[in-house]
Amino acid sequence: MFTLRAIRPVVVNTTQSIGYQNRNYATLKEIQLRLKSINSIAKITKSMKMIASTKMTRAQKAMEIARVFGTTQTGLFTYADTKPTEGGNTLVITVSSDRGLCGGIHSSVSKRSKKFIEENPSSQIIVLGDKAKGQLQRTVRENIKLSFNQIGRSIPTYNEASSIADTVLKEKIDFDQAAIIYNYFISVISYEAKIIPAFSVSTFAKSGNFDSYEVEDDVLEHLQEFAFANSIYWGLVEGHAAEMASKRSAMENATKNAGEIIEKLTMTYNRGRQAAITNELVDIITGASAL
């Protein structure tokens, strides 16, 4: 009887200990699986950061060239004293892309476009990129006239901008002035939604200093088409550079967050493993002492 009473508590405690160990090992297994998945995510985000860094360097070079032509072209309207026609038709061109994982770059131009539409309710919208289109459709669907996608896969070219401008003109969308809303590249961590102005032939012909240029009518039409396409090109290239910089920052932050989570999970896993080993040693010593 004495032997049975001595052994029985040991058997009960061992059973409880085994159940506790099984639950603990299941938890450790879950932590291992989570660590593995987060490590994979960290590798992907790190690779995407490197790719974005490479693309950003090329995009900045193209942006600097486009910015020279763009500022020169807008300077023409400034020197000619071109002003928007009061009560005229206004066209809004929102410049974005089709890809995400780049912070709030698309929300920036979408908010600016919505604010512009609130001030000019009769304005028509042309959207470049599916991301901004999805955001604008929720509130100003009726104002969207055209949309373009497959934009932003690589550095935009002038041929793409010319195709967009030709499509707009062929669709005979009537406008006196256009507001091209894009993300202006400030630095690798900063951008701002700005507007590039563009004008129709009739509006430009009404400029205060237009007579000093002595431009013929046939040349004036070609000049307006070039200025319109050049403005779109500037907005596309500038927005692409800002998008690559934002994507690089987003992937850098994602990699940093993944590293912090890995560090915490590793510490939790080590503590759990040490606790499991300690419990096993306690059970072994307890059983040996009882016997």
Q: Residue 164 falls within a domain, yes or no?
A: yes
Return the residue matching tokens 């039409």: 221
Q: What mean pLDDT do residues 94-104 have?
A: 83
pLDDT digits 0-9 by tens, 238-285: 999 998 888 888 888 889 999 999 888 888 888 888 888 888 888 788
pLDDT given at position 152: 64
Q: Looking at 114-118, 143-147, 187-191, 206-210, which range is the least confident one? A: 206-210
Q: Residue 279 falls within a domain, yes or no?
A: no
pLDDT category at 9 given cuts 50, 70, 90 is very low
Cβ neighbours of residue 183 closer than 8 Å, sequence gap 6 or more: 95, 105, 108, 109, 191, 192, 193, 194, 238, 239, 242, 243
> With 50 as the cut, is the pLDDT of residue 101 above it?
yes
Q: Looking at 9-13, 31-35, 125-129, 234-238, which range is the least confident one? A: 9-13
Q: Can you point out the beta strands (E) in 136-259?
A: 144-148, 177-187, 190-199
> With 50 as the cut, is the pLDDT of residue 2 above it?
no
Using alpha carbons only, give the angle 138, 145, 235 rounded to the nearest 5 degrees: 90
pLDDT given at position 112: 92
Q: Looking at 78-92, 101-115, 144-158, 212-226, which range is the least confident one? A: 212-226
Number of domains in the chain: 1
pLDDT-above-90 percentage for the chain: 18
CA nearest to 59, candidates 168, 172, 216, 188: 188
Q: Residue 262 falls within a domain, yes or no?
A: no
> With 60 as the cut, is the pLDDT of residue 14 above it?
no
User: Could you tell me the two tokens for 3?
Assistant: 């032997």
Q: What mean pLDDT do residues 213-236 have?
A: 84
**Domain assignment of residue 60, given as a range:** 53-248
pLDDT given at position 268: 85
Q: What mean pLDDT do residues 190-210 have?
A: 86
If DSSP codes are grouped into helix, strand and coil, which group holds residue 165? helix
Query: Which DSSP category does 87 fall into?
Result: T
pLDDT category at 26 given cuts 50, 70, 90 is low
Integer CA distances (angstroms), 128 to 132, 202, 232, 261, in order: 8, 26, 10, 37
Q: Residue 253 falls within a domain, yes or no?
A: no
Write the CATH number for 137.
Answer: 3.40.1380.10
**Does 139 or 218 have the greater pLDDT score?**
139
If DSSP codes are grouped into helix, strand and coil, which group holds residue 136? helix
Q: Residue 220 falls within a domain, yes or no?
A: yes
Q: Residue 98 falls within a domain, yes or no?
A: yes
pLDDT digits 0-9 by tens, 52-80: 888 888 888 999 989 888 888 888 888 88
Q: What mean pLDDT do residues 129-147 have?
A: 88
Q: Residue 116 falls within a domain, yes or no?
A: yes
**Does 238 or 172 have the greater pLDDT score?**
238
Q: What mean pLDDT do residues 152-172 have?
A: 87
pLDDT category at 84 given cuts 50, 70, 90 is confident
Q: Residue 26 falls within a domain, yes or no?
A: no
